[in-house]
Structure 1
Amino acid sequence: MPPVFSHAPSTSPATCRPGCAACCTAPSISSPLPGLPLGKPAGMACPQLDAELRCRLFGLPERPAVCSSLAPGPEMCGNNREHAMAWLSKLECDTQPHAT
């Protein structure tokens, strides 16, 4: 079964590929979240993921705004988790401030 994507604002974690959580792992999160008051470093799985890699903060006010604003889509998610991890890791690298 192909992944399901929605271009509308997501209100359900069902719009994501089950068992992926690339967007909860690859990028850094600078906002505080439960368990990580200083944010989450890139490449670390968010501690708010459950055993099925679903967000325990989904729909709660504690969920960082950046998480709510990131919606799954074909360019980011591709056909598998490996594609999503590579795309998001490159985006993370490309958006880091460069030392001058």
Structure 2
Amino acid sequence: MQCRLGCGACCIAPSISSPIPGMPQGKPAGERCIQLSAENLCMIFGRSDRPLVCSEFDATPDVCGKTNQEALWLITSLEQATGQ
């Protein structure tokens, strides 16, 4: 599965504990990454300063669903089930 351009759910729903350019402490769950554009595109995609957790994320149907809204719901649910 390929990421749906303009989805951005993986840049909003999960917490990210790794430093992100512009967010040195990472980001809490439910907060938009500062590197997510208005069009929901990663502005640091492919750059060396992109967090490893982001670079290693693979879109899969069970995580991303069939729509952007479903992806946001699924990833938020996973975060809530596994978050601390």
TM-score normalised to the size of structure 2? 0.91
- Percent of aligned positions that are identical: 50
> Which structure 2 residue ranges, 5 or more long, are not aligned?
none
DSSP-derived class of the 1:84 partner: helix
1:39 aligned residue (16, 26, 34): 26
2:69 aligned residue (63, 70, 82): 82
DSSP-derived class of the 1:39 partner: coil
1:29 alignment counterpart = 16
Give the Cα separation in 1 of the matches to 2:52 and 2:25.
15
Root mean square deviation, CA, Å:
1.1
**Which amino acid in 1 is paired with 2:16?**
I
Give the Cα separation in 1 of the matches to 2:21 and 2:68.
25
Deviation at 1:51, TM superposition (A): 2.7
1:11 alignment counterpart = none
1:10 alignment counterpart = none
**How many residues were matched structurally?**
84
Pairs within 5 Å for 1:53-92: 53-92=40-79
- Aligned structure 1 segments of 4 or more residues deviating by more than 4 angstroms: none
The higher radius of gyration belongs to: 1
DSSP-derived class of the 1:37 partner: coil
DSSP-derived class of the 2:31 partner: coil
Give the Cα separation in 2 of the matches to 1:55 and 1:19.
9
Question: Residue deviations 1:42-91, cap 9 Å, x none?
Answer: 11111101232111111111100110111111111111111111111111
**Which amino acid in 1 is paired with 2:45?**
F
